[in-house]
Amino acid sequence: MDGDINATAPGTTPPDTDPARKRRVHGMLKLYYGLNEEGKTVDQAESMDPCDINGPHFDPEVYLNKLRRECSLGELMDQETCMVKQIRSLDSDMQTLVYENYNKFISATDTIRKMKNDFKKMEDEMDCLSTNMASITDFSARISGTLQDQHAQITKLSGVHTLLRKLQFLFELPARLNKCLELQAYAQAVSSHRRARCVLQQYSHMPSFRGIQDDCHAIMDKLAQELRQKFRDGGSSAKDLSECVELLLQLDEPAEELCDKFLSHAQSRLEADLLGLEAELRPPLSYGPTAVTDPYTGPAHRLSVEPTAGSPTGPSSLNNPFLSPSSRTDILEFIDRGCNEFVSSLCLVIASYQELFVNRPQEGELASKNIPQMAIGKLHAFVDALATRYFSLVERRIQEEKSVGDNSLLVRALDRFHRRLQAVAKLLPGSAVPSQGTEIVVRAARERIKQYLAALQSFYLNSLTDVRQALAAPRLGGSSAGVGSHLGGPATGKEAPASLPELLSTLSASILNQIKSVLASVHLFTAKDITFSNKPYFKGDFCSHGVRESLVVNFIKFVCQSSRQFCESAGDRGGSTPPALLLLLSRLCLDYETSTITYILTLTDEQFLVQHHSPVTAVTALCGEAREAAQKLLNHYVKVQGLIISQMLRKSVETRDWVNTIEPRNVRAVMKRVVEDTTSIDVQVGLLYEEGVRKAHSSDSSKRTFSVYSSSRQQTRYAPSYTPSAPMDTNLLSNIHKLFSERVEIFSPVEFNKVSVLTGIIKISLKTFLECVRLRTFGRYGLQQIQVDCHYLQMYLWRFVSDENLVHFLLDEIVGSTAHRCLDPAPMEQSVIEVICERG
Amino acid sequence: MEDDAPVIYGLEFQARALTSQTAESDAIRFLVGTQSLKFDNQIHIIDFDDENNIISKSVLLHQAGEIWHISASPADKAVLSTCYNKSEASTLPFHVTRHLSRVVTCGAVWRMPPEWESGSHESPDDPHNSHNPQNLELLCHLDNSAHGNTSSVLWEPMGDGTRVISLADNHALLWDLTESSTQATISSSATLEGKGQLKFTSGKWSPHHNCTQLATANDTAIRGWDLRTMSQIYCIENAHGQLVRDLDFNPNKQYYLASCGDDCKVKFWDVRNINEPVKNLEEHSHWVWSVRYNHSHDQLVLTGSSDSRVILSNMVSISSEPFGHLVDDDDLSDGEDNHQYDKSKEPLQDSIISTYEEHEDSVYAVEWSSADPWLFASLSYDGRLVINRVPRALKYHILL
């Protein structure tokens, strides 16, 4: 009995043509024949089931029982049909396979039979070949036997020939050497001699050979002498020289001595270069070749590849120092010359020296002497000594570079200087020269920054002088024009300081431009194509500490500081600074505080990509400083202007005999001047500062009739203060008054606006007026005059201040004090005062 | 601190002149001269009882005129000098004399009547007790019409009260007082010469060099004079930006001089080097009218200004006891001061000790008490006299 698992799922039977099914059939066949390696895992899982028809433990009895137990009759029938079908297909598959195998087996039998025939033929041919080979061997043996004698003879003959040639060479050697000497073919002579040397040494006991050896020695000594002579002579070219050295070394000259000689020879040439450079440093005596043959000979390290290429023209042109008496060369030319002459020669020397002494292949006897170490040591000392001299010259030249006009020249010169030194670094690794060179560049950069700072500072001071002159010039014309139109308001002041905002903007713009151009100049130091710009100093310290701190921050500080100095020096010694300048500078500093400093520093940071390693001055600190300076300047301005007006008032009070004065008919001219000046100050300040806040005006102040002390009501207020009946009321009244008014700070700091500035000035002036009045004694008309004056001031001054009550209070105090100081206090009628004041 | 509270005394009149009674070394006593054009002027003798914090006053009449300057004799408690305005018009109807009237400032030496001390002590609460104030007794005039207005009278410091100097316009006059000060004769004089109307504004007789030196101020300059030859020793041109108002000598350092003026500054000078001040103080916000060294502890400097403030400064760095005392932070916690001490600073640091704001009007005079070195008075124009003490903490510092 046979079956299949597919039978349990009847609907899934695939069609016969399906290749998958075919493969499965093959698989099953394999299983059947025990070739079940590919289905191992499946087997393992199913192996224990005796009902698995494909498994190895299949028990037909159990399977049949199971089927019979589990399936109905119909199912059994179906199962049977299915199984029969499968058995049938399996049988047909098997038949096909058997047939195929049979065919293959038949063809294999045919092939084997054919091969058997072929092998037989081959065997015959091999036998034939072996007999032939035997006969050939036989013949060959016979021939070699015959030729043996002749061969030995030939060998002997050729040996004799060689020996004879050698002997001939030896005998001819002295003559040949002499000839070489004559022809100056030193190299050939040395190589010839070297070849013969050992032999001669070996056979020196034979007289004839000794003779040759002695001759040779004599000649070689002469040759060495000649070589040394040539070596000693300065004129020979580097190539010749190196050849000389090479030959001498081969002649067992001591290497150390050669090194020294070589270097001293080179030194003399390099020193000539240095002298040439030095000559240029002395302006009046400087004669030097201006035309340096080729300004830029490409990367210098090329010299190390072909050390003998293009010997520098320096020495030869130096021999002719009067070629062209040049004017002073600029630094680029100087450095160029230094590079092309000195540095190139130095590189050349280093290269050839290394070629000769350091890098030469070590031959037996030379190797033991440790020449390279010794040679390198000497070379370092030599290069260091010369480089130090060169650097000192370069530094001297750089120090002479004082003008800050064109930085690019210096930067280019430094770049070239630095770039050329890189060649030395490549040739001579471990030398201190390049780092020293970098230090020079760094120092030069630092120095440059200092110079720029100084230049900026002097520029700033010059600009201030210009501003001063500009302020002075129109003032002469303006003051005369302004007189007489004291009520003209803006029209008055316009004449004189009209250009104040312009001056400010020009000043600030020119400073900013200057800073920018300086920054641009300094920026050259960090340009990408400059070789030293990627040194750590130029990346970090130069940007942050050098440019930002030393240059920009210091300059801003300088501006603030010099502004502060204006306050101090001018304060004591009579105010040499024009007030307008103070005002202008104060505005400048304020602008700096609000925007300019931030702008400049941001600009710097951006341009130089400053990374702050060390702590730097904060923008806020600088702004604070600027603000402080601005405040101080403005305070000082207020003080100076206040003092000018105070002075007028003081003189006017002090010089008059107030007891015997006449009845007032006019406002005193001084008061008009005061109002006039205040107006022009108002205009001046208004040009630079905003209006500022006022306390709300009372409605009647605009009518100019309001006056605390002059209204009839108020007149009774102070009248009792000098009536004999109530002396105590004086104190009481004024004290009560003071209780309710704030203490007036006279020289107090002002705010950055026009009203505050004017308030400050007026406060100072009126307080002076008050103090002066208290020092005088007045007659009746004196009091009345003061009344008139104060009313006049009252009419015009309230508009300038933030709090008109302040003016009222101070003027009130003045009139009150005058009344106290009056011998005959009889105040004037308010209406009369008004009439006089209206009249002007 | 109760004890440090200021004591205030109000005069009825406006006043500028203040001095301590120099010859008195026991009682704390100040003399104040009033300024009034209408009434008889007075000299108030203010006694301060330190123990009980009580002020008592006596009033003497000074009928000659309003007092601009007052100074007390160093030898005789009862003798004092004043500079006063004599107005010839004041006694006559105005309309008659208006073309003639003239105000002249004169100097005079006075003696207080001997009874004032015993009889007329009264408390300030009872102002109208003085119905019959006594007159001062005139000893002599220091007048010389040829020399102009007298701006101040200076007694010879620590002298026997027989020599005074008066500054009159551009003259410095050295007077000898004889016959118990009733006779005054000019022994020598110096005249300031130069362009314009030069006028001495104030002066100070130096207590050093055997009292042979005088310092004067005119306009912005300070000048030193040798009294033996009556010639100028030094001149600090432009000592201040504006008018110099007052001078004082350091009592312990002979070359040191303090000055103050209209530029709101107080400056300290070493007269051997007059190019630069040794020190600048710029604390006042208006003209500084008066500067005084403490008589015993010259680091304490008092200034009065027309910004109505009195400032007490501690100028340790230029005092004669620069290394005096270590500052202990705890002791400096004086809450009343408007300007705090610099607590963390070293003792050498100069500082403002205190700003006194009791005045409502310009302060024209400040003066240390001659009896108690820790006490001082200031006088403002409205007639308010304020007596203050050096903060106790600082006092102990200086003493201990």
Shortest distance between the Cα of A407 and any Cα of chain B, in A, equals 43
pLDDT at B1 over 50: no
**Do A261 and A242 touch, CB atoms closer than 8 A?**
no
Q: Which of these ranges, A59-68, A96-105, A344-353, A699-708, has the smallest mean pLDDT?
A: A699-708
pLDDT at B298: 87
Q: How many contacts (CB atoms, under 8 Å) link A and B?
A: 87
Q: State the Rg of chain B over Cα.
A: 21
Residue B196: which region, alpha, beta or left (left: phi > 0; alpha: psi -120 to 50)?
Answer: left
Give Cα A617 distance to the centre of its chain. 19
Calpha distance A412→B122 (Å, rounded): 95
The three-state secondary structure class of A794 is helix
At position A160, the amino acid (one-letter code) is V
Residue pointed to by tokens 């007790």: B129
pLDDT at A300 over 60: no
Chain B residues in contact with A735 (beta carbon < 8 A): 360, 382
Q: Which of these ranges, A154-168, A225-239, A338-352, B274-288, has the smallest mean pLDDT?
A: A225-239
Per DSSP bridges, beta strands B363-368 and B375-380 are antiparallel
The mean pLDDT of A699-705, rounded to a whole number, is 38
Which tokens is A620 given?
Answer: 């806020």
Calpha distance A616→A544 (Å, rounded): 8
pLDDT at A561 over 60: yes
User: Could you report how far apart the first and last alpha carbons of chain A are, in Å?
Assistant: 149
Which residue in the set B87, B98, B286 is minimally distant from A746, CB to CB?
B286
Which tokens is B312 given?
Answer: 């007490």
Calpha distance A432→A379 (Å, rounded): 12
The three-state secondary structure class of B90 is coil
pLDDT at B247: 92
DSSP type of residue A577? S
Which tokens is A347 given?
Answer: 């590189």
Please indicate whether residue A234 or residue A669 has the higher confidence score (pLDDT). Answer: A669
pLDDT at B127: 45
Chain A residues in contact with B103 (beta carbon < 8 A): 659, 777
- Structure confidence at residue A829 as a pLDDT band (50, 70, 90): confident
pLDDT at B194 over 70: yes
Q: Is A373 exposed, middle or buried (0-12, 13-18, 19+ CB in 10 A)?
A: exposed
Chain A residues in contact with B381 (beta carbon < 8 A): 774
pLDDT at A342 over 50: yes
Calpha distance B246→B292 (Å, rounded): 9
What residues contact A627, with CB distance under 8 A and at least 6 apart? A589, A590, A593
Q: Tell me the pLDDT tens digit for each residue of B344-366.
A: 344 567 888 888 888 888 899 99
Percent of chain B scoring above 90 in pLDDT: 13
Q: Which residues of B touch A (CB under 8 A)?
A: 10, 12-14, 36-39, 85, 87, 89-90, 94, 98-103, 238, 240-242, 263-264, 285-287, 306-308, 357, 360-362, 381-383
**Do A249 and A255 touch, CB atoms closer than 8 A?**
yes
Which residue in the set A574, A643, A823 is minimally distant from B87, CB to CB?
A823
Please indicate whether residue A24 or residue A151 has the higher confidence score (pLDDT). Answer: A151
Q: Do A777 and B37 touch (CB under 8 A)?
A: yes
The residue length of chain B stands at 400
pLDDT at B168: 85
Which residue in the set A724, A731, A774 is minimally distant from B383, CB to CB?
A731
Please indicate whether residue B38 or residue A572 has the higher confidence score (pLDDT). Answer: B38
The mean pLDDT of A569-575, rounded to a whole number, is 47
CA distances from B233 to A220, B229, B236 (A): 100, 10, 10
* Substitution target from B91, B218, B236, B361 for chain A, most A beta carbons within 10 A: B361
Sign of CA dihedral B252, B255, B256, B259: positive
Please indicate whether residue A434 or residue B274 has the higher confidence score (pLDDT). Answer: B274
- Structure confidence at residue A131 as a pLDDT band (50, 70, 90): confident
Whether A824 contacts chain B with CB within 8 A: yes
Percent of chain A scoring above 90 in pLDDT: 3
Please indicate whether residue A58 or residue A717 has the higher confidence score (pLDDT). Answer: A58
Shortest distance between the Cα of A728 and any Cα of chain B, in A, equals 6
Per DSSP, the residues of A297-364 read: -S-TTHHHHSTTSS--SHHHHHT-TTS----PPPHHHHHHHIIIIIIHHHHHHHHHHIIIIISSPPPH
**Do B61 and B133 touch, CB atoms closer than 8 A?**
yes
pLDDT at A519 over 70: yes
The mean pLDDT of A39-60, rounded to a whole number, is 65
Residue pointed to by tokens 């072929």: A118
Chain B residues in contact with A734 (beta carbon < 8 A): 360-361, 382
Which residue in the set A660, A730, A823 is minimally distant from B90, CB to CB?
A823
Q: What is the pTM of this model?
A: 0.66
Give Cα A402 distance to the centre of its chain. 23
**Of residues B272, B212, B282, B217, the one with CA closest to residue B248:** B217
pLDDT at B246: 92
Shortest distance between the Cα of B372 and any Cα of chain A, in A, equals 30
CA distances from A62 to A66, A70, A84, A574 (A): 6, 12, 19, 136
State ipTM.
0.83
The mean pLDDT of A198-222, rounded to a whole number, is 78
pLDDT at A368: 53
Q: Is A90 exposed, middle or buried (0-12, 13-18, 19+ CB in 10 A)?
A: middle
Which runs of consecutive H residues, i.e. helices, occur in chain B?
A: 94-97, 116-119, 392-399
pLDDT at A97: 92
The mean pLDDT of A680-709, rounded to a whole number, is 61
**Of residues A563, A580, A567, the one with CA closest to residue A641:** A580
The chain-wide mean pLDDT, for chain B, equals 80
Q: Do A571 and B263 touch (CB under 8 A)?
A: yes
- Structure confidence at residue A192 as a pLDDT band (50, 70, 90): confident
Q: Which of A5-14, A245-254, A459-468, B337-346 has the highest mean pLDDT?
A: A459-468
Per DSSP, the residues of B250-298 read: -SS-TTEEEEEETTS-EEEEETTB-SS-SEEE---SS-EEEEEE-SS-T
DSSP type of residue A552? I
The three-state secondary structure class of B310 is strand
Per DSSP, the residues of B113-175 read: -TTHHHH--B-TT-GGG-SSPEEPEEEEE---GGG--EEEEEEPTTS-S-EEEEEETTEEEEE
Q: What b/e sequence results for A231-241 when a residue is b if at least 16 CB atoms lie within 10 Å of its CB, and e otherwise?
A: beeeeeebeeb
The chain-wide mean pLDDT, for chain A, equals 73
